[in-house]
C-alpha cells in the first residue's frame, strides 16, 4: 500500500482495498453526484470517484464520501483510520484510544515549506480571475439554498493576535463566482474566532481548503479542544509535521498538497443569508440564517484537481464518523483526567451522534472502593456537565464493558435490558448545541436544556447479576472447546477440498 500524503494517494490506498468505484461516464455535479454519493453511503458501497463532470474543465474530478464508513468487510472504519495513518483494520475502541493518547503538551506544529515545492500552487488565480465558475461546485440536496462549496474541506481562520489557528469543517454556500456564505456559529470555534474580528470591526482572513492530506478533513470534523490548533493535533497523530505553505493574499498557511485553496476575507457583519441545507441529524429543515459574507481574493489549485464531496443526511455518512471518533476520544480523556475508570467511549453512528455511550471496566468497584452504581453514574454526569464536549450529546448511557458500544446489536440489547424506563437517570441542565431537533423550540431558542445520564450498570457479582446467555456465558468450557475444535477441523477439510 502506498504512503498516504494527499487525497490522491489516499484514493489509491482505498482502491487497493476495493473501496473505490470509478465512474467513467459524465456525471453532473448538480445533484447527480450527490445522489450517487448518498446511495453509496446508505448501501455501504465503495467511495464513488467521478472522472468526468458536467460543466467543469476537462480533468477536474470529484470523490464522494471520503470520510464515510468503508465497504471493506469487517473494517467499516478503514477510511478514517487510513486518513489518520493507522491500519485499515483499526477498531472503534483502538481509534478512540489512539486519539485520546495525544498529549496536548507535545503537539507537532505544521512545517512551512517553499511555494515552489507546493502542488497546490500549480495554478494561481488572482483578483477578478479568481472565480468559482470553472470548478464543479456541487448542488447537494434539491432544497438547499444553493450549491455548497464546502462539505468536506476545512475553513482555516486565525485570531487577530495570532495565538490560535483553527481548521474546521463548516458548510459554505456559493452566492456567485466571487462570493460565498457559511455557518459561523458562536458555539463553534470558527465562530469564536470570527467574534474577535467582529469586535475590532475588521474582516477576517480565511482560507478554504479542499483535499490535501486526508487527515485534514478528519481532524477538521472533530471537536479538538478550544485553542488547540488542528494542524498541530494532526501532526501529533501522524508523528510528523503537516507540510504547509503561505497563502497568496494573506498570512494563513495551508496544506501543500491541497487540491484547491480559496483565499479571501469574511465581513465583520452578518450580511448574507445562508441555507437551508440538509444536515447530519437526518432532516432537511427549511432553516436560513444571517451569516458573514465570504469574498474571494485568490484561488490556487493542482492540475486536474479532485473535489471532495460529503452528502450529509440521515446516518451514516462523513458528517458522523469523524465527530464520533473525536468526541469519544475527548470524553475518554476528560473522564480519565478526573480519575474515573473508563474502558472506552463511542457515539453510536446510527444515532447521528446524539448519544454518548461510556463503558467502564469490570473491576471498577475495586478501583473505586465503597462506590455504588448511582454514585459512579453521578460522578460521570457531574464531570461531563461542566465541559463543552460533555454536553455535545443530549443522552449519555453508562454500561459495563461487556458491551461494545460500536456494535449496534450489543448496544440495542444493553439499552433494552439494562436501562430502567424512568428510574436510574439524572438530568444535568445547561447549555445545549443548536442543532438537535429532539429539543423543544423554546429550549433551542434559549440554548438551554438537559443532558440525561442513564445508569445502565450491572449489579456486583453475587448480587443478582445473571450470566450473559451467550456461547461464552452459559456453556461449559470443555463443551465450548469441543465445538470450536470441530469447527476448525471442518474448516480445514473445506479448504483442503477446495484446493484439489
Quote the CA–CA distance of 187 and 431 in Å, as a whole number. Answer: 10
Residue 279 annotated to the active site:
yes
Quote the CA–CA distance of 240 and 109 in Å, as a whole number. Answer: 9
With CA atoms as reference, report the closest residue to 436 among 451, 425, 455. 451
Owner of C-alpha cell 455548497: 148
CA distances from 7 to 45, 165, 353 (A): 19, 22, 26
Cis peptide before 196 (omega within 30 of 0): no
Quote the CA–CA distance of 242 and 21 in Å, as a whole number. Answer: 29
139: β partners: 30
CB half-sphere exposure, 110, CA atoms < 13 A: 22
426: β partners: 453
Quote the CA–CA distance of 453 and 427 in Å, as a whole number. Answer: 6
Spot the catalytic one: 230, 248, 253, 279: 279
Sign of CA dihedral 344, 349, 350, 351: positive
* Beta-carbon contacts of residue 78 (< 8 Å; ≥ 6 apart): 14, 17, 19, 70, 72, 88, 89, 90
Active site residues: 279
Amino acid at each position: 500500500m502506498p504512503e498516504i500524503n494527499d487525497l490522491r494517494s489516499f484514493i489509491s490506498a482505498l482502491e487497493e482495498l476495493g473501496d473505490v468505484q470509478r465512474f467513467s461516464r459524465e456525471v453532473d455535479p448538480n445533484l447527480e453526484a450527490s445522489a450517487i454519493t448518498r446511495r453509496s453511503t446508505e448501501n455501504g458501497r465503495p467511495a464513488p470517484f467521478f472522472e468526468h463532470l458536467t460543466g467543469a474543465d476537462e480533468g477536474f474530478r470529484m470523490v464522494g464520501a471520503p470520510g464515510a464508513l468503508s465497504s471493506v468487510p469487517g473494517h467499516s472504519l478503514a477510511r478514517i483510520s487510513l486518513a489518520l495513518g493507522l491500519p485499515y483494520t483499526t477498531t472503534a475502541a483502538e481509534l478512540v484510544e489512539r486519539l485520546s493518547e495525544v498529549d496536548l503538551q507535545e503537539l507537532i506544529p505544521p512545517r512551512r515549506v517553499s511555494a515552489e515545492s507546493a502542488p497546490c500552487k500549480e495554478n494561481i488565480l488572482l483578483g477578478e480571475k479568481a472565480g468559482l465558475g470553472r470548478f464543479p461546485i456541487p448542488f447537494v440536496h434539491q432544497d438547499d439554498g444553493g450549491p455548497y462549496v464546502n462539505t468536506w474541506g476545512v475553513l482555516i481562520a486565525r485570531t487577530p493576535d495570532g495565538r490560535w489557528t483553527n481548521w474546521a469543517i463548516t458548510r459554505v454556500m456559493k452566492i456567485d463566482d466571487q462570493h460565498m456564505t457559511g455557518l459561523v456559529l458562536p458555539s463553534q470555534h470558527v465562530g469564536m474566532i470570527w467574534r474577535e474580528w467582529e469586535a475590532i470591526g475588521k474582516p477576517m482572513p480565511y482560507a478554504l481548503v479542499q483535499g490535501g492530506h486526508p487527515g485534514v478533513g478528519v481532524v477538521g470534523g472533530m471537536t479538538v479542544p478550544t485553542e488547540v490548533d488542528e494542524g498541530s493535533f494532526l501532526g501529533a497523530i501522524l508523528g510528523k509535521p503537516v507540510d504547509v505553505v503561505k497563502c497568496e493574499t494573506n498570512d494563513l498557511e495551508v496544506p501543500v498538497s491541497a487540491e484547491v485553496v480559496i483565499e479571501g476575507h469574511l465581513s465583520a457583519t452578518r450580511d448574507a443569508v445562508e441555507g437551508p441545507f440538509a444536515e447530519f441529524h437526518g432532516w432537511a429543515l427549511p432553516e436560513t440564517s444571517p451569516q458573514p459574507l465570504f469574498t474571494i481574493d485568490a484561488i490556487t489549485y493542482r492540475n486536474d484537481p479532485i473535489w471532495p464531496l460529503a452528502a450529509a443526511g440521515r446516518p451514516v455518512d462523513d458528517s458522523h464518523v469523524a465527530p464520533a471518533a473525536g468526541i469519544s476520544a475527548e470524553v475518554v480523556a476528560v473522564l480519565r483526567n478526573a480519575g474515573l475508570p473508563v474502558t472506552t467511549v463511542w457515539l453510536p453512528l446510527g444515532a447521528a451522534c446524539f448519544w454518548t455511550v461510556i463503558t467502564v471496566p469490570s473491576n471498577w468497584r475495586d478501583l473505586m472502593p465503597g462506590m455504588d452504581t448511582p454514585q459512579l453514574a453521578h460522578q460521570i454526569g457531574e464531570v461531563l456537565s461542566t465541559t463543552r464536549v460533555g454536553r455535545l450529546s443530549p443522552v449519555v448511557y453508562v454500561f459495563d464493558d461487556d458491551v461494545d458500544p460500536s456494535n449496534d446489536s450489543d448496544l440495542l440489547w444493553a439499552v433494552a435490558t439494562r436501562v430502567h424506563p424512568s428510574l436510574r437517570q439524572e438530568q444535568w441542565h445547561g447549555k445545549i448545541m443548536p442543532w438537535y431537533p429532539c429539543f423543544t423550540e423554546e429550549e433551542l431558542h434559549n440554548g438551554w436544556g438537559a443532558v440525561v445520564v442513564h445508569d445502565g450498570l450491572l449489579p456486583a457479582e453475587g448480587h443478582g447479576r445473571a450470566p450473559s446467555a451467550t456461547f461464552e456465558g452459559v456453556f461449559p468450557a470443555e463443551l465450548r472447546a469441543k465445538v470450536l475444535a470441530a469447527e476448525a477441523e471442518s474448516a480445514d477439510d473445506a479448504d483442503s477440498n477446495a484446493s484439489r
